[in-house]
Structure 1
Amino acid sequence: MTSPPIAATVERSHKRLGVGASDRTAAALLLLATVLAIVWANSPWGDGYEQFWSMPIAVSVGDLSLATTPHQLVNDAIMTFFFFVVGLEVKHEFTLGELTDRSRAIVPVLAAIAGLILPALIFIVIALPAGDAHAWGTVISTDTAFLVGALAIIGPKFPARLRTFLLTLAVVDDIGALLAIGVFYSSGFSPVPIIAAVVLMAALALVRFLRAGRGFAYAVLGVALWVALAQAGIHPTLAGVAVALLIPVYPPRRRDVERTAELTQAFRESPNTEYAAAVTRSLRESLSINDRLQTAWAPYVSFLVLPIFALANAGVHLDAATLSAALTSPLTWAVVAGLVVGKFVGITVATAVVRATGLGRLAPGLGMPRIAGGAALSGIGFTISLFIVTIALPDPESQDLARVGVLAASVIAFSLGWAIFTIADRLRPPTAVGATLMRPFDATRDHFRGRVDAPYSIVEYGDFECPFCSRATGSIDAVIAHFGDDVRWVWRHLPLESVHPHAKEAAQAYEAAALQGEFLPMARLLFANQDALTTDDLCRCAAELGLDPERFAADLRSPRVVRRVEDDQLDAELMDLHSTPTFFINGRRLKGPWDSASLIRALEATVDSEPRVADTPR
């Protein structure tokens, strides 16, 4: 049975991180706003660009008055929403995402740290003679929106694992940039507003315990925190991060989902406004407010906030005088070198060192050429770089020189990344993916039957809702009966969610049962009950096997179990697998029928071949 490409499944699983068809659109809008700002600033109406963004705006209520400009409004207020969404993503990653797994996170985390430090050092060395070393913050951050958009535009095949690596790196990168803004690019601190800010953050942490009105409370306290930080001399956009980090995040809870199902059934039986309101409220509260806010605000940030910011900050004067000055300016070249060279060398070398020393390892399918291409794209430091330019360099001429460097570095970084991906794909064509098993057998990870050192090996990618996989189970039993302990059978997950809506949760049930040592009995029950794989059905299967029900329910949707299933899905995408069951015989993909006689013949034909990837220890 076949399905659309598994990439669609991966896109859905990464939707929270902004991975999808909208990446190119968001990047295109950001680029369009940048071009419009440059054209406007260098047109016959160029003076109007400066006049508009520096136009005074005053709001007065009685004796109280607030004076600002459109430029300050964008950078100090509207950009708070950008940092708010970044903070939500950071909180989610540390609580439920990639950063909860040390072995998974260590490589991109250390690479990100190197990608923060080396660019700053390069900038300081070059800019120090000109007296601009204090603006080192302009080169430390990668633009996440442009990074993901650039990857979508270049379009290397099977990008899911690289995208995950780069997004994890970008999260750590954002944390470093936010800390730099808060510590090094804020004005003198005022103690009373700081105390008020601390009290407000304590109040924000307690909002989760309110029975109702939590959204309103977060909004009011968030605005108050923004004002307190501004008065304290700390850049007020950090209020967005603080509020986001104090908002709770958790996976959907089974009791909440079941409550929603009960209310929905009641509404179906007796439709009325009271039940409708209860269903709506239950649906909303079954997801954490972090998830709901990311879904609600991310499009506004991508398609409105960031383009407005680019329009307000990218209007660099590219007249002959500015370009001539930029060509000889240590500040401009410090920005270019820091972003392009610093990011590329820092991330690539750090990844290679961490990998070589065994401190961490790359996900299957991620080689150093791919990492190098991603590291080159990380030199696109647009949004936060331009943001820090405005607060680190008060002189307008210096700002223009730095902006020229940011724009030039972004173009160079994109071109370099494109070249690396193109050359790497030509040297190692991705069309060869899938002929051999990409991830070797790992006795400490894989669920298997047979001896660890068995001379015959079968790796099956399957789907518990697929009837062909159920029938293949009988074939495997016959093969094991034929070879005995000389054959090793390994199961990996390829749930085809587009045609089998319960397949992924069934795979998670298998993994939850495996944590209690009952993966094989659970597999047989799942195949025997393919028409009954709802959450309640899975819990009944667990009870039938005598599993601890509370532990099973907790493990069923735990980050550890979900990541385990998604790891197999990503492996399948990297190998271009689109159907189930798919077999690898002694490390080579089986083409043709999978009845027991065919499997036995295939095993006997390959056992005397060269060393097999399936038998290589990890």
Structure 2
Amino acid sequence: MRPLKRLVEQFLESEAKGGILLFVTALAAFVLSNSPWAQAYFDLRDVYLKLQVGDWVLKKTLLHFVNDFLMALFFLLVGLELKREILQGELKNPRQAGLAVAAALGGMVTPALIYTAFNYGGEGAAGWGVPMATDIAFALGVLSLLGKRVPLSLKVFLTALAIVDDLGAVLVIALFYTSQLNVTALLVAALVFGFALLLGALRVRSLTVYMLVGLVLWYYVLLSGVHATIAGVLLAFAIPIGRARPLPPHADGVAEDPELHEAQLELLEDAAREAQSPLHRLEHLLHPYVAYFIMPVFAFFNAGVALEGAQVGSIALGIFFGLLLGKPLGILLFSYLAVRLGIARLPSGVGWGAIAGVGLVAGVGFTMALFIAGLAFDAALLDEAKLGVLSASVTAAVLGSLLLWKTAAPRPS
């Protein structure tokens, strides 16, 4: 159990640092978009990148390259984390999974209803999916600022909640934010996905093979009209999680003889690498690139919104109150019902005040919310949506921190 706990703590620490970097790059984008260099910032997003092989050409703006290709790697990591949590992590235990699933469901349904109440029948009606999403990196970054006042069990609960929330967002994108379908490309994508599943069933361990298949899958999903990032999640579910062979006996200890100590450590490290599943290896490989490059780059290119001429209408208000009120109310209500019905239990040492605080922090919807906003709105409405996301996320982070500071302090033993 100690190695597993150490891995969880390393994961949370990595996500927390990534959240702080995400905040810095988002702030830089916001400042630039309202500075004398604003036009240069917006022009940079519209620079075209072109890849050509013979008669085949793929041409995308820098903004679309980030949102369609780099974010597919983010979604690949989301899929890997989700699969690991279901098979080996918090979501494997039915009662712990019950709480995370119930909380995530409440945190998706309630914000969508609040947003719809503001925008029913209006031009912003399509944006109901925007306030449903929680940003795991930002949320854990907020919790990291509170240090040891937040128990590990509460951080793990927020992580599991956000991962289930991400799955919900992926389903919403695939089902409701898909353009006109190209049936031929969709069938080819299905065949490629089937081939990836076959590779997983055969226990193919080469990550290079999976990434090459993933590139083909990404291209045909892009052509199909379904958002290309969904390819990342599909590929994740094909990658096997089983070990090739178990660790050698006594792998948790080292030789007491100093002369053998270093040699044995090297052997154990080699054995550990060999014993790791392809899913764990890819997850560990992707994590630093996603946390410290892909998500900050996404934030930089998507968080810029010019305040001059920006409106605060029903779209911004629906997103603001959906994230700030809908998230904590939905998470608290659905969690309470799940516990009362006996299908879930609260994390160790955590009370309802702390659950309410986590609900507020879950209102930090930055990455996925901005992503869905880009799919739901055209340029004329997108700035208003961004304003709602950014203002709600900052407010939720501040209020959630204050509430957790008072309610989530670990109980004395």
TM-score, length-scaled by structure 1? 0.62
What are the equivalent positions in structure 2 for 1:521-540 lying under 5 Å apart?
A: none
Q: Is the 8 A contact 2:248 2:271 kept in 1?
A: no
Distance change (3 Å), C-alpha of 1:10 and 1:222: closer
What are the equivalent positions in structure 2 for 1:278-317 lying under 5 Å apart?
A: 282-317=271-306
Deviation at 1:128, TM superposition (A): 2.1
| Structure 2 counterpart of 1:464 | none
Question: Does 2:71 correspond to 1:82?
Answer: no
Distance change (3 Å), C-alpha of 1:330 and 1:298: same
| Structure 1 counterpart of 2:360 | 376
| Structure 2 counterpart of 1:360 | 344
Deviation at 1:210, TM superposition (A): 5.8
1:354-389 CA distances to partner (integer Å, 9 max, x unpaired)?
Answer: 223333221321110110000000000000111111
User: SS of the residue aligned with 1:234?
Assistant: coil
Q: Could you tell me how far apart the structure 1 residues matched to 2:53 and 2:276 are?
A: 40
Distance change (3 Å), C-alpha of 1:190 and 1:32: same
Q: Could you tell me how far apart the structure 1 residues matched to 2:163 and 2:77 are?
A: 11
1:402-448 CA distances to partner (integer Å, 9 max, x unpaired)?
Answer: 101001000111121122123336xxxx47x33xxxxxxxxxxxxxx
Q: Is the 8 A contact 1:122 1:342 kept in 2?
A: yes
Q: CA RMSD in A?
A: 2.8
Letter in 1 for 2:286: W
What are the equivalent positions in structure 2 for 1:449-488 lying under 5 Å apart?
A: none
Q: Could you tell me how far apart the structure 1 residues matched to 2:403 and 2:195 are?
A: 49
| Structure 2 counterpart of 1:31 | 23
Letter in 2 for 1:377: V
Q: Is the 8 A contact 2:135 2:362 kept in 1?
A: yes
Q: How many residues align?
A: 407
| Structure 2 counterpart of 1:19 | 12
Distance change (3 Å), C-alpha of 1:212 and 1:423: closer
1:118 to 101, 110, 128: 110
Deviation at 1:9, TM superposition (A): 7.4
1:491-532 CA distances to partner (integer Å, 9 max, x unpaired)?
Answer: xxxxxxxxxxxxxxxxxxxxxxxxxxxxxxxxxxxxxxxxxx
Q: Could you tell me how far apart the structure 1 residues matched to 2:240 and 2:157 are?
A: 25
2:335 to 351, 356, 359: 351
Letter in 2 for 1:405: G
Letter in 1 for 2:380: E
1:196 to 185, 188, 200: 188
1:138 to 127, 130, 147: 130
Q: Is the 8 A contact 2:199 2:238 kept in 1?
A: no
| Structure 2 counterpart of 1:416 | 399
Deviation at 1:231, TM superposition (A): 1.0
User: SS of the residue aligned with 1:19?
Assistant: helix
Q: Is the 8 A contact 1:379 1:410 kept in 2?
A: yes
Distance change (3 Å), C-alpha of 1:256 and 1:23: closer
Q: Is the 8 A contact 2:201 2:240 kept in 1?
A: no
Question: Does 2:91 correspond to 1:108?
Answer: no
Deviation at 1:281, TM superposition (A): 6.5
Letter in 2 for 1:186: T
| Structure 2 counterpart of 1:604 | none
| Structure 2 counterpart of 1:257 | 247
TM-score, length-scaled by structure 2? 0.91
Distance change (3 Å), C-alpha of 1:9 and 1:293: closer
Q: Is the 8 A contact 1:53 1:69 kept in 2?
A: yes
Percent identity of equivalent pairs: 33
**Contiguous gaps of at least 5 residues in structure 2:** 261-265
1:146-195 CA distances to partner (integer Å, 9 max, x unpaired)?
Answer: 01111111335252111111111111101000001111111111221121
Deviation at 1:81, TM superposition (A): 0.9
Q: Could you tell me how far apart the structure 2 residues matched to 1:34 and 1:121 are?
A: 28
2:320 to 332, 336, 343: 336
Q: Could you tell me how far apart the structure 2 residues matched to 1:280 and 1:244 are?
A: 25
| Larger Rg, first or second structure (1 or 2) | 1
User: SS of the residue aligned with 2:246?
Assistant: helix
1:203-231 CA distances to partner (integer Å, 9 max, x unpaired)?
Answer: 11122366877222101110000011011
Distance change (3 Å), C-alpha of 1:150 and 1:95: same
Question: Does 2:165 correspond to 1:179?
Answer: no
Letter in 2 for 1:214: S
Distance change (3 Å), C-alpha of 1:56 and 1:385: same
User: SS of the residue aligned with 1:257?
Assistant: coil
